[in-house]
Structure 1
Amino acid sequence: MPRRTAAALAAVVLSTGLVAAPQVSASAAGDSCISKKEYRKVKQGMTRPQVKQVTGTNGKSLGRAEASQDYIIEKRRYRVCTSRKGAAELGFVSVMGGPYKLTRKTVDWR
């Protein structure tokens, strides 16, 4: 498709509003916090990269512990967008060297 045709088509699509504006989370906007909406989207069984895709941040590791030879537990803290004092904590488990998957989550919105 020639450049002029592609540019004209893009202008028509954008002017008609057929393309929805991308949702920008608080994290994606440059703020490394987790919003209530993002917290609700994070579900048990998600991997760390999937959680980062939802929240836009990796949070801060609070440490890892080997529960046994086959299980490694990691806790991560995420700043909440509602206040400076609140925080969300997400617990991940890696089984037999596999990906870290979310097993629990708690939050304090204060």
Structure 2
Amino acid sequence: MRNVFIQGLAAASLVIATTGTVGLASSSASAATTAVSAPVASQVVAQAGCVSKKEFRKVKKGMTKAKVARIFGTKGTLAQRVKDGRRTIESRGYKGCPKYSSVGVAFIKKGDGKYKLANKLASWQL
């Protein structure tokens, strides 16, 4: 397990624990030559419970927390909830795909309304 520290999401800080494995590689041999290939990050098949770069790009400011959860395929982990007058700020952390990547998002709820995406941040394994 590796902890990735992320700051700057709507004045909240969160620590996201990332786990999981991605180990895709194939090899083929013909005659006297051997070719080995490994997928680039965009080719890695998304694992269950983690957020891919494609899913991350799909979420936009103003989307509801429920819609973000549908796109990401997970609700993530609540990192912090802060009440600031009539608004509530909620920060959530998600495992990223591939291994050792992480995603953080901040939602803001005004009054009795719904939580809406205010900010997003990702750290991708190179």
* TM-score when normalising by structure 1: 0.70
Query: Which is strand-richer, 1 or 2?
Result: 2
Measured in 1, the distance between the counterparts of 2:88 and 2:74 equals 21
1:75 and 2:91 aligned: yes
Larger RCO, structures 1/2 (Cα 8 Å, 6+ apart): 2
Listed as ranges, the matches of 1:15-30 within 5 Å are: 26=46
Query: Which is helix-richer, 1 or 2?
Result: 1
**Alpha-carbon deviations, 1:34-68, whole Å to 9, x = none?**
00000000100000110011111001000100111
Alignment RMSD (CA, Å): 1.3
* TM-score when normalising by structure 2: 0.61
Unpaired runs of 5+ in structure 2?
Answer: 1-44
Task: Name 2:103's counterpart in structure 1.
Answer: 88
Listed as ranges, the matches of 1:1-110 within 5 Å are: 26=46, 31-68=48-85, 70-83=86-99, 85-110=100-125
Which structure's CA Rg is the greater one?
1
Shift of 1:26: 3.0
Question: Runs of 4 or more off by more than 2 Å in structure 1?
Answer: none
Unpaired runs of 5+ in structure 1?
Answer: 1-24
